[in-house]
A and B are shown apart, each in its own frame.
Chain A
Amino acid sequence: MVAPKLVVEGLSISYGGKTVLHDINLEVQENEIFGIIGPANAGKTSFLKAINRMSDFESDMQVSGTIRFNGRDIRTLRNLYAYRSRIGVVFPLPVGLPLTIYENVALAPRLRGVKHRDELDEMVERCLKRAALWEEVKDRLHVLGSLLSGGQQQRLTIARALSQEPELLMLDEFSIAVDPVTTMRIEDVLKELKREITIILVTNLVQQARRLADRTAFFLEGKCVEIAETEALFTGTVQDQRTRDYIEGRFG
């Protein structure tokens, strides 16, 4: 048995006294797509923030519990930046940095110290292709990324996350701003990426979790209701009635 990629033990998160996530315990295996579904305010986004310690940004966000990445407790890391560079994050709404398309994707490699133009060119092309954006932007790589449409910007942020060559990719409702056809193309890319990396997919589209995730966790009101093999969840072997209700669209 391979050691899990990510172990979360007793994770609780609160904002200024208001608890948004209670005592989460879960493991994410290497090379799996781990889905998290749940309605708004379930604590899904806070969960992701805790994992790459974006919580350091928000002074009123308190995190307790243990998160281990490759067996290492992330609270004890001495170089947080190096850790974050191993984790790609795609936010729900696209954040095209105020740079050109090319520079958006080349930023992470540059931060790593890649300087050769050829190497950067090749990396930018590969990442944009994987994010299904290359064909649309290959002739205008040097215009501002913020001039792209919403869906294109989201694919740009996916390309940027991939350019980190992350070990763990966290997608937070990535398809909100993307049309269905492109969503399917990106989903294909994710399935392929799974062979190399681990993916945490937060989604409010339960069918997307079914299509992609190996295992799925159902979050509700800050609690992890259950975690199971995705197929099992969708074929009815749920432990909790609320999970069934949510999956079948009866609330949320």
Chain B
Amino acid sequence: MNASAAQQPDFDRRNLDWYIDKFVQALVFLGGISAILFIIGIFVFITVEGFDFLMGRFDFVEFFTSPWWEPTDEDEPTYGILALIAGTASVTGLAMLVAIPFSLGAAIFIGEFATGKTREFLKVLVELLAAIPSVVWGFIGLSIMNPLIIELFDVPVGLNVLNAGIILGLMAAPIMTSIAEDALKAVPDRYREAAEALGATRWQVVYKVVLPAAKNGLLGAVLLGVGRGFGETMAVLMATGHAINIPTSIFDSVRALTATIAAELGETAQGSDHYGALFTIGIFLFLITFLINLMADLIVRGVRKQ
């Protein structure tokens, strides 16, 4: 080995750093694709479990248009989920009516008006609210809202669309607030300064400049709330009254798609039509929430690109 070669760094010798780098890359790659694997795995699993039903007893028209969900009828079981869809949709719809004003109001206050300690305190509080388990919310619906609704509106049952809608709205509001606030934060301060320099009041700045600039992010927040509403199980199981019914008023008890699965799956024989039908509801829910989340994600992404 001559002197000049000895001074050259060795371009072929892989040192420890090189191996650590490769190892970490492989690890991170696994982590990254595991999310995809799990999603695909879950979808495959619920499809396989529902497969026999889908290929056999399943009748598309009956499934989506019949209000009769009577899987345990001894003579002629029917599998119609229209009432369940109506239940989920009505509760989610009402929940959004509750959650949107609360969450947007909170986000605007935290993001645009509150300062310093108040702001930090509120942000922590909102995150704390988001962490309350859904069974606790269901309990509140059952033991507080129920008698309250009976008392206030003079109705026989307090477990209904109104109860579940309010509970679900309050549940969804914190996470929506968080995301909406992020959307407001993404609006550059120079817009606010420019508008204030024009003599706009704080509210005019928010209303004329910040909200239009953040509208995609805010829409994304609302859609994520809707996704949450569709997927929520425990609280709606406890607060809706769990009665199969196409609601005609907010005081009607309903039953949600998710709650049906949760309540019935344990009592069915594996491989039976009933079992398969519940999994078919699962597939339907999966597709719906997937679509809603995808839409929300695309919309929020649209904001970032601007």
Contact = CB atoms under 8 A, between A and B. Distances in A.
Interface of A: 52, 54, 57, 59, 81-89, 91, 95, 97-99, 107-108, 110-111, 157, 160-161, 164
B201 interface: yes
A57 B199 CA distance: 13
B198 A91 contact: no
B265 interface: no
B120 interface: no
Interface in B152-197: 189-197
A165 to B, nearest CB: 11
A87 B192 CA distance: 16
A137 to B, nearest CB: 18
Contact of A157 (B116, B194, B213): B194
Interface in B280-306: 306
B209 A84 contact: no
A98 B193 contact: no
A82 B115 CA distance: 23
A111 B194 contact: no
A138 B43 CA distance: 54
Contacts of A59: 115-116
A52 B209 contact: no
12 contacts: A54-B193, A57-B196, A84-B199, A86-B199, A87-B199, A95-B193, A99-B212, A110-B208, A160-B194, A160-B198, A164-B198, A164-B199
B217 to A, nearest CB: 12
A111 B201 CA distance: 9
B204 interface: yes
Contacts of B196: 54, 57, 84
A98 B212 CA distance: 8
Contacts of A107: 195, 198, 200, 208
B186 to A, nearest CB: 11
A59 B116 CA distance: 9
A83 B201 CA distance: 11
B194 A98 contact: no
Nearest to A160: B198
Contacts of B195: 97, 107
Given A59-B115, A59-B116, A95 B194 contact: yes
